[in-house]
Amino acid sequence: MVQERTLPTFNTANVQITKEEGLRLYEDMILGRFFEDKCAEMYYRGKMFGFVHLYNGQEAVSTGVIQGAMRPGEDFVSSTYRDHVHALSAGVPAREVMAELFGKATGCSKGRGGSMHMFSAEHRLLGGYAFVAEGIPVAAGAAFQSKYRREVLGDKNADQVTACFFGDGAANNGQFFETLNMAALWKLPILFVVENNKWAIGMAHDRATSDPEIYKKASVFNMVGVEVDGMDVLAVRAVAQEAVARARAGEGPTVIEALTYRFRGHSLADPDELRSKAEKEFWFARDPIKKLAAYLVEHNLADHEELKAIDRKIQAVIDDAVKFAESSPEPDPSELYRFVFAEDE
């Protein structure tokens, strides 16, 4: 078992959240969890092919940042190869995400991207990226154009913020350091969200980096760096709201290191034999969905029946997404070379 870091504490007494906001966070996390569970089922039934990397356990990060602090559909989101749930939080319909996983023409990337390459211009989802750290400079480009439109072109509505998600392994790559340097110099409106789930495929984070505390690397670039309990959606929401406010005010970027854990193997092809049973049980007990549900009930923001109703509602959404994907057409072979180059609207 890899040594556990001391998790940051978060005082829920300071939380200000309405019932509507709380239920929205819960629904978004349930959507992510149920969707990924269905993906596993469909993969093992031979409905999906290639590598499929699931997000189970990390839902509080996606939901806390995108739904809790940003303007989905207006702000930009850059993802990784573990991108299904980021797409859902950004507002891409479950039908389109599932159809993409099935390789169908109705998918958000028209069946050409599959699991690792979700994209939606409409929802400001900049893509999932198969190569580690590949999305970091792309996200910086999106943040730069927001700043340029506002400060150079005089567009006062160009206050969009970009959230760039990546894993602990990406923080050892050159793109991470190069992009942080530029983002700091130009004070770009961007959040660098490190989803530190402790492991690459089979390499423990502590064994792969000179300083496991990634958020401290922000200080080298005179940038704000914070660590947060990535299993607590309210804690993630709080630090993300502060970071988004700084970015919109022109005060530059933030590195957010969310300490989280994936409940499944690296991918559905990973037997997950390298992580100890004790480590898994430690993190399973900190399930972010159960934690939020308990908070909502304890603070009289919801009762168990309301939460169960949301569960049933989302299960229907997932079932509908599968039916839609199964009945959707395959991409036409005549369009094999389409979208290689940009097309006029």
Chain centre distance of CA 292: 18
What pLDDT does 21 receive?
A: 98
Q: 145: part of which helix (H) or strand (E)? A: helix 135-151
For the segment 18-27, the average pLDDT, to the nearest whole number, is: 98
| Alpha helices, H only, 152-287 | 174-186, 205-208, 233-248, 277-284
Cα-based distances in Å from 270 to 98, 237, 266? 21, 31, 6
Mean pLDDT taken over the chain: 96
Q: Which of 13-17, 54-58, 127-131, 319-323 has the lowest average pLDDT?
A: 13-17
How confident is residue 242, by pLDDT bands cut at 50, 70 and 90?
A: very high
| Residue 145 burial class via C-beta count within 10 angstroms: exposed 0-12, middle 13-18, buried 19 and up | middle
How confident is residue 324, by pLDDT bands cut at 50, 70 and 90?
A: very high
Reported as a single tens digit per residue, the pLDDT across 281-295 is 999 999 999 999 999
What pLDDT does 342 receive?
A: 85
What pLDDT does 39 receive?
A: 98
Contact of 62 with 85, CB cutoff 8 Å? yes
Q: Under 8 Å CB-to-CB from 131, ≥6 apart: which residues?
A: none
Half-sphere exposure of 38 (CA within 13 A, CB side): 26
| Torsion region of 50: left, alpha or beta (phi above 0 gives left; psi -120 to 50 gives alpha) | left
- Cα separation, 297 vs 92, in Å, equals 29
Instruction: State the amino acid at position 144 in one-letter form.
Output: F
Q: Under 8 Å CB-to-CB from 263, ≥6 apart: which residues?
A: 56, 57, 280, 283, 284
At which residue do the structure tokens 């005060």 appear? Answer: 251
Reported as a single tens digit per residue, the pLDDT across 107-164 is 999 999 999 999 999 999 999 999 999 999 999 999 999 999 999 999 999 999 999 9
Half-sphere exposure of 238 (CA within 13 A, CB side): 19
What pLDDT does 1 receive?
A: 55
What pLDDT does 343 receive?
A: 83
What pLDDT does 261 receive?
A: 97
* Torsion from C-alpha of 239, 244, 245, 247, nearest 10 degrees: 130
What pLDDT does 2 receive?
A: 60
Contact of 264 with 272, CB cutoff 8 Å? yes
What pLDDT does 339 receive?
A: 85
| Closest alpha carbon to 311 in 21, 35, 4 | 35
Give bridge partners of residue 190 from the DSSP assignment: 162
Instruction: State the amino acid at position 298 in one-letter form.
Output: E
How confident is residue 345, by pLDDT bands cut at 50, 70 and 90?
A: low
The pTM assigned to this predicted structure is: 0.96
- Cα separation, 88 vs 218, in Å, equals 29
Apex CA 65: angle with CA 217 and CA 201, to 5°?
60
